[in-house]
Amino acid sequence: MMFDILMALPARIYNFLLALFLSSLSVYLFIHSGDIARDNAFDERVVQQTIVGGGVIIFLFFSRFQSVAGKFLKVLAYLLVGGAVVYMTADMQDKTLMVILRGIAGLVVAFGLFSFVSFTYFKNRDDDLKKNGWKLEAKSSGVSIDADEDTSFFVINFSAHNPHTGKDLLFKSEKLNFNPSDKLLDDQLFTVYVDRKNPKKYCFDEDAFSNLKQW
Total of domains in the chain: 2
pLDDT tens for each residue of 32-81: 878 877 776 667 776 676 777 677 777 766 776 656 666 677 777 777 77
Residues 175 and 75 in one domain: no
Residues 116 and 154 in one domain: no
Residue at which a domain ends, from 112, 128, 144 = 128
Residues 112 and 19 in one domain: yes
37: CB partners within 8 A, 6+ apart: 43, 44, 46, 47
Residues 154 and 61 in one domain: no
Residues 161 and 201 in one domain: yes
pLDDT at 215 over 50: no
Q: Determine which helix (DSSP H) or strand (DSSP E) holds 17, and give its type and residue range.
A: helix 11-31
Higher pLDDT, 210 or 18: 18
Residues 117 and 178 in one domain: no
Residue at which a domain ends, from 113, 128, 143 = 128
Residues 14 and 103 in one domain: yes
Confidence band for 18, pLDDT divided at 50, 70 and 90: confident
SS3 of 102, please? Answer: helix
Residues 107 and 156 in one domain: no
Residues 119 and 167 in one domain: no
Residues 113 and 23 in one domain: yes
| pLDDT for the residue 49 | 67
- The span from the CA of 138 to the CA of 161, in Å, is 8
Q: Which residues pair with 136 in a beta bridge?
A: 192
Residue at which a domain ends, from 128, 156, 174 = 128
Residues 150 and 46 in one domain: no
Residues 14 and 113 in one domain: yes
Which of 140, 132, 141 has the alpha carbon at shortest distance from 193?
A: 132
pLDDT tens for each residue of 108-160: 778 777 777 777 776 777 788 888 888 998 888 888 888 766 677 888 888 89
210 dihedral zone (left: phi>0; alpha: psi -120 to 50; beta): alpha
Whole domain around residue 109: which residue ranges?
2-128
